[in-house]
Amino acid sequence: MRSVEWLREQGHDATHLREENLQRMSDADVFRKAATEGRILLTFDLDFGEIVALSSEKNASVVLFRLHNTRTPHVIERLKSALQETSQSLESGAIVVVEERRLRVRRLPLRS
């Protein structure tokens, strides 16, 4: 939740599923909700990379954290870098994989 608070402090319209009492929603429903609301999904759940890749959504985006250090200050620091370096890709639809020392961006749609 501190990551959501940080995003709000930066001027982003951020929400956490817990705030809406939706933490038990299925992954597919979470993705549909994010796509419908035009939100970028932030997650540690690798399933979302596959869900967005297989979807027909062209403007949906997922930031997928693959970090060993999952302490909030580190996650926020990596998120800050990801937003600075990939904002244009995220706005047009992408999967951004955030690792300890690098970012990988796959623009959507993935099919060629």
Looking at residue 14, what DSSP letter applies? -
The pLDDT profile of the chain, 112 residues, written as one tens digit per residue, is 899 999 999 999 999 999 999 999 999 999 999 989 999 999 999 999 889 878 877 778 999 999 999 999 999 999 999 999 999 999 988 999 999 999 999 988 765 4
**Residue-level pLDDT at 97:** 97
8 A C-beta contact, residue 93 and residue 83: no
**Residue-level pLDDT at 56:** 79
Looking at residue 19, what DSSP letter applies? G
pTM above 0.85, yes or no: yes
**Residue-level pLDDT at 111:** 57
8 A C-beta contact, residue 108 and residue 94: yes
Phi then psi dihedrals of residue 63, to 5 deg: -105, 115
> Which residues 6+ apart lie within 8 Å of 6 measured at CB?
76, 79
